[in-house]
């Protein structure tokens, strides 16, 4: 038994497996990320596992998407072999005595990749059955696609290495017949280099047979090291293949047919990074650490000089006009722009808009005091978008269109605003007779289409690899990035419905024909809100008690169109407003706006994830008109989470929990803090309306508490069914009945 264990331990695949954990462990980080991602332990809240377990090509999970992912997996594994071969081959000088040394190394270095492939297949099959409802034939087709792509790339790779790996030992021996050439073949710094040689007795051959190293013909260690070094240049050349694929993919990213699955893009990116690690090790050797420090300082310098700027822009806004100065973002300028006169002017204009809306209600046969609806939607990626659209479409259909006609304002955060904006535009298209029926199921399907794949693909192929793709959008030159990719995918998914500019809605909103919509974002410079609307809304930028205070004016929000009046604000693309509203950290890039200093924007949910702050201020500022001219006020709050949801009990029964739970309490419970704070605001607002204000919640309630839809820009077939079915939950049905009674005046 002891003898068997010793033989297994001295088997080269086992020794290489152990070697990776002993030396240069940083390379294992890539494997950790992959294993953790597919098992749901890394970035699961962002839906990262779906990028690998259910890859999409041209908007579908199919044979070709799995084929491309399999090919990308093979590229990553080859990059792993190449990089570790460069790093560790000096510890394996005996491989130089074998024919096709690199092939032998790959075979014996495949224990870790083999574990990953088996684990991936098991998890992917289960995921596709449970979450994508794939049948047996589809599963077989998907797996065939994956392994066909995997084997194809492996065969091409080894064909290349067979071509360049023509028994280098014989070539070297023939050349050193002239002793004068030894200098060129064996550098002096390698003659007496002490290395940590791997102790292995047996290895796997190309025919997967076990042979002993003692059977190999012995050669000088210095000569064998030289043979292995000849492999390194060929190995580095192969790494450039992955970089070339990413560069070409980035150039043609607008064509879905040339866009590989995002999971494959990540694997190619990992391959490039590993290739860089191997190249640094090969070229710099003992100077490697200094080399990395130089690269880091160089990149930091380029970023500080704005040669590299990883922030995005709002498409349609004028950033570069030489005739107009950028506005100063300071207190003095804010006091000047958001004056008491401007506040009153915009408030009066809004009251006039409401009066026009009321007249239309009376003309359409409603009461002289119609019910008024404000809609606030929560953030939450595609989950919130799908649930918001489902709720609005259902409520509007059972009310015969009254939900839309009685709504005067829509606001909120992140994904919920995407669903709300699409619902509003569908009804706008219906009134213009561009579509015949706004309630078709295909529109719901459009909201559920994937956005994450385009975002992540752009991240790995454009943002990091080729950030110089120029394009003209909304009349101005700009650079492609994952923000642009997200917008283009959203326009495609919604059949071009959201390919609009902010100013396109100005006339209809001002005349009360359609609900006004306020898009939000958080200014991370100072925590203020940015409010974007087709109408001037300075009356929502400050509390009433400081309006006439010119010294201590408390401007806590910025009206985008008013502040950037010289930067063509109404030319802003609606998709850019939605993106700024949904700029979740890392998933989408921070957006900069042309002020001095520049405003930097993130997700509206950072400040108000439910749109309640804006709705409450609206009800407060306009309470006199609303109280006198409406029968009931309905604040419809559409949430993708429960308002009073209890979290699992958290017992600090370990050192880890005692250390980190207090640090991350605010981050993990941020939505709850906002919800509890908003309950106070809603309580105070009702004092203005003396019982006329009705706050009604429509909440996504999963059928199984532990199987809630993930928070990301991709939702599975199972999650779509769960979201659609949630409308029939007892609590939501009661809320829908309440809305119907209020609309009917009962």
How does pLDDT run across 676-706, given as a tens digit for each residue? 666 656 666 667 787 899 999 999 999 887 7
Per-residue pLDDT band for 24 (boundaries 50, 70, 90) equals: confident
Q: Quick one: pLDDT at residue 164?
A: 53
**How many helices (DSSP H) and strands (DSSP E) are in the chain?**
31, 14
Per-residue pLDDT band for 208 (boundaries 50, 70, 90) equals: low
CA distances from residue 370 to 140, 362, 428 in whole angstroms, order as listed: 58, 8, 21
> Does the pLDDT value for residue 565 go beyond 50?
yes
Distance CA 461, CA 469 (A): 11
Range of lowest pLDDT (92-101, 361-370, 503-512): 92-101
More confident position, 29 or 241: 29
Q: Quick one: pLDDT at residue 180?
A: 42
> Does the pLDDT value for residue 581 go beyond 90?
yes
More confident position, 702 or 58: 702
Domains along the chain with CATH numbers: 1-176+196-305 (no CATH), 331-644+668-744 (3.40.1090)
**Residues 66 and 152: beta-carbon distance below 8 Å:** no
Concatenating the DSSP letter of every residue in 397-420 gives HHTTTHHHHHEEEEEE-HHHHHHH
Q: Quick one: pLDDT at residue 541?
A: 95
Q: Closest Cα partner for 638 from 424, 408, 386?
A: 386
In this structure, how many other beta carbons lie within 10 angstroms of the beta carbon of residue 323? 6
> Does the pLDDT value for residue 174 go beyond 60?
no
> Does the pLDDT value for residue 22 go beyond 90?
no
Distance CA 670, CA 676 (A): 10
Say which residues have a Cβ less than 8 Å from residue 248's Cβ, sequence separation at least 6: 258
Kindly state the average pLDDT of the residues 51-68. 89
Range of lowest pLDDT (84-88, 503-507, 681-685, 712-716): 681-685
**Residues 608 and 529: beta-carbon distance below 8 Å:** yes
Distance CA 204, CA 109 (A): 10
- State residue 636 phi and psi, 5-degree precision: -90, 115
How does pLDDT run across 625-653, given as a tens digit for each residue? 999 999 999 999 999 888 766 555 555 55
Q: Closest Cα partner for 172 from 160, 190, 184?
A: 184
Q: Is the backbone peptide bond immediately before 431 cis, with ω within 30 degrees of 0?
A: no
Per-residue pLDDT band for 86 (boundaries 50, 70, 90) equals: confident
3-state SS track over 1-43: CHHHHHHHHCEHHHHHHHHHHHCCHHHHHHHHHHHHHHCCCCC
Distance CA 396, CA 406 (A): 10
Strands (E), 326-459: 372-377, 407-412
Provide the b/e sequence for 8-34 (b: ≥16 CB within 10 Å): eeebbbbbbbebbeeeeeebeebbeeb
Highest mean pLDDT: which of 243-247, 416-420, 611-615? 416-420
Q: Quick one: pLDDT at residue 152?
A: 94
Kindly state the average pLDDT of the residues 564-583. 95
Q: How many Cα atoms are found within 13 Å in the side-chain-facing hemisphere of 170?
A: 6
More confident position, 512 or 256: 512
- State residue 92 phi and psi, 5-degree precision: -130, 55
């Amino acid at each position: 038994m002891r003898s068997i264990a010793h033989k297994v331990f001295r088997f080269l695949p086992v020794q290489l497996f152990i070697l990776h954990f002993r030396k240069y462990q940083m390379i294992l980080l890539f494997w950790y990320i992959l294993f953790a991602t597919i098992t749901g332990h890394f970035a699961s809240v962002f839906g990262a596992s779906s990028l690998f377990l259910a890859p999409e090509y041209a908007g579908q999970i199919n044979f070709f998407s799995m084929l491309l992912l399999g090919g990308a997996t093979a590229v990553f594994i080859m990059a792993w072999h190449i990089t570790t071969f460069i790093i560790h081959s000096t510890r394996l000088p005996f491989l130089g005595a074998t024919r096709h040394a690199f092939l032998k190394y790959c075979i014996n270095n495949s224990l870790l990749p083999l574990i990953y492939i088996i684990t991936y297949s098991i998890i992917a099959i289960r995921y596709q059955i449970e979450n994508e409802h794939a049948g047996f034939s589809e599963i077989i087709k998907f797996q065939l696609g994956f392994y066909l792509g995997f084997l194809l790339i492996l065969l091409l790779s080894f064909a290349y290495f067979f071509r360049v790996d023509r028994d280098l030992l014989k070539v070297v021996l023939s050349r050193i017949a002239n002793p004068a050439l030894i200098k060129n073949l064996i550098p002096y710094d390698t003659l007496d280099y002490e290395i940590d040689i791997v102790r292995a007795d047996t290895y796997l051959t190309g025919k997967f047979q076990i042979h002993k190293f003692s059977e190999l013909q012995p050669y000088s260690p210095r000569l064998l090291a030289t043979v292995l070094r000849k492999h390194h240049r060929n190995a580095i050349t192969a790494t450039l293949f992955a970089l070339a694929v990413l560069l070409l993919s980035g150039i043609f990213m607008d064509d879905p047919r040339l866009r590989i699955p995002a999971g494959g893009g990540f694997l190619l990116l990992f391959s490039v990074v590993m290739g860089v690690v191997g190249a640094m090790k090969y070229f710099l050797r003992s100077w490697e650490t200094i080399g990395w420090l130089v690269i880091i300082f160089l990149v930091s310098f380029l970023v500080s000089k704005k040669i590299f700027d990883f922030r995005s822009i709002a498409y349609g806004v004028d950033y570069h006009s030489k005739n107009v100065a950028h506005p100063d973002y300071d207190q003095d300028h804010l006091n000047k722009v958001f004056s008491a006169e401007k506040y009153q002017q915009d408030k009066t204009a809004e009251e006039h808009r409401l009066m026009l809306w009321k007249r239309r209600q009376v003309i359409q046969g409603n009461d002289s005091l119609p019910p008024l609806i404000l809609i606030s939607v929560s953030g939450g990626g595609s989950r919130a978008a799908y649930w918001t659209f489902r709720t609005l479409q259902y409520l509007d259909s059972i009310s015969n269109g009254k939900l839309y006609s009685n709504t005067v304002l829509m606001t909120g955060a992140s994904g919920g605003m995407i669903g709300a904006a699409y619902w509003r535009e569908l009804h706008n298209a219906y009134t213009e007779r561009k579509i015949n029926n706004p309630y078709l199921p295909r529109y719901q399907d459009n909201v559920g289409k994937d956005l994450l794949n385009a975002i992540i693909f752009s991240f790995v192929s454009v943002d990091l690899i080729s950030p110089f793709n120029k394009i003209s959008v909304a009349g101005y030159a700009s650079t492609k990035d994952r923000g642009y990719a997200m917008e283009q995918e959203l326009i495609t998914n919604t059949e071009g419905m959201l390919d609009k500019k902010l100013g396109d809605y100005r006339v209809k909103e001002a005349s009360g024909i359609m609900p006004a919509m306020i898009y939000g974002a958080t200014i991370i410079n100072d925590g203020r809100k940015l409010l974007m609307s087709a109408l001037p809304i300075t009356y929502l930028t400050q509390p009433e008690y400081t309006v006439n205070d010119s010294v201590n004016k408390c401007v806590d929000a910025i009206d985008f169109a008013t502040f950037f009046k010289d930067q063509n604000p109404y030319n802003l693309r609606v998709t850019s407003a939605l993106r700024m509203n949904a700029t979740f950290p890392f998933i989408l890039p921070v957006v900069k706006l042309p002020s001095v200093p520049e405003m930097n924007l993130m997700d509206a949910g950072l400040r108000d994830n439910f749109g309640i702050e804006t709705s409450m201020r609206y009800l407060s500022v306009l309470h006199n008109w609303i109280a006198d001219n409406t029968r009931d006020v309905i604040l419809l709050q559409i949430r993708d989470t429960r308002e009073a949801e209890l979290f699992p009990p958290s017992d600090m029964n370990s050192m880890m929990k005692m250390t980190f739970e207090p640090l991350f309490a605010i981050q993990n419970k941020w939505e709850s803090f906002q919800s509890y704070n908003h309950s106070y605001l809603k309580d105070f607002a009702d004092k203005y309306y003396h019982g006329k204000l009705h706050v009604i919640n429509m909440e996504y309630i999963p059928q199984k508490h532990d199987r809630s839809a993930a928070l990301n820009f991709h939702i599975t077939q199972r999650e779509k069914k769960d979201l659609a079915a949630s409308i029939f939950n007892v609590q939501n049905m009661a809320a829908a009945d309440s809305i119907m009674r209020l609309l009917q005046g009962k």
